[in-house]
Amino acid sequence: MNFTQMHERLRLELLRRIQRGTLSVSLLARQTGFGQSHLSNFLHRRRQLSLEALDRILAAQHLVASDLLPTKLRAIDLPPLEDNSAVPVVSHATALNDPYIRSSAVQAVLHLPQQALQSLRARASASRKTWQRFVVVRIPSADAMPMDPLILPEALAVIDRHYNSLAPYRPSRPNLYAVRTGAHLSLRYAELVSARLVLRPLNIAFPIDLIEVDKPEAASELIAGRVALILNEC
């Protein structure tokens, strides 16, 4: 990774933290001693940072250069068989927000047949194509109940983050998505109806949720990805 790529990945990471509400330009200015206009110009690609400034921001945000690299699982974590793939198990927040899964965010590794993953079709928005594709999240009881009996408590859901399109994956079958609802990740069937993203549970005891969107592209950005596989524990 060269300096320009590191520069861009730091910019995107800071913008994600601002979007999540854990950072603001004014807070970053206080942490680093830079002016808000200086930082704003960087965030909007109107100027670049010096190497010294880059180091100060990394230190202020408790980052190191390796955190900006796409995580590659260590050889010790990889399966011994060539026909397997290792998919990281991560938190819901990581699945929603982090394009590159850092090693510190990996809770466990799930081994899946490589052929099964490679056969999955992608349909990603332009901004999502650079994200690490597959992640796994564990679904606690409260989050599983709306999709009962398809999803049981403590199930593992494999999310394909390169499929955030609302187009059906299979004809006449609804897609199951991991969707951002506020700061939360929910598993729901989803469709766009009259400028609203309609989130439908399987269990009729739970309500349908509606999320207002100003344009179709905004709906796809609320989707973490299509649920490609569910592993219910017996």
pLDDT by residue (tens digit) across 57-67?
888 887 776 66
Listed residue (152, 5, 115) closest to 68, CA to CA: 5
3-state secondary structure 138-207: EECHHHHHHHCCCCCCCEEEEEECCECCCCCCECCECCEEEEEECCEEEEEEEEEECCEEEEECCCCCCC
Structural domain spans, the chain: 3-68, 75-231
Q: Is the pLDDT of residue 73 over 70?
A: no
**Cα–Cα distance, 137 to 132 (Å, whole number):** 14
How does pLDDT run across 123-172, given as a tens digit for each residue? 998 888 889 999 999 999 999 999 999 999 999 999 999 999 999 999 88
CATH 1.10.260.40 holds for 3-68: yes
Considering the segment(s) 75-231 as one domain, its CATH architecture is Ribbon (2.10)
Confidence of residue 13 (pLDDT cuts 50, 70, 90): confident
Comparison of pLDDT for 68 and 109, the residue scoring more: 109
Strand 155-160 versus strand 184-193 pairing type: unpaired
Entry pTM: 0.67
The pLDDT of residue 74: 38
At 144 the pLDDT is: 94
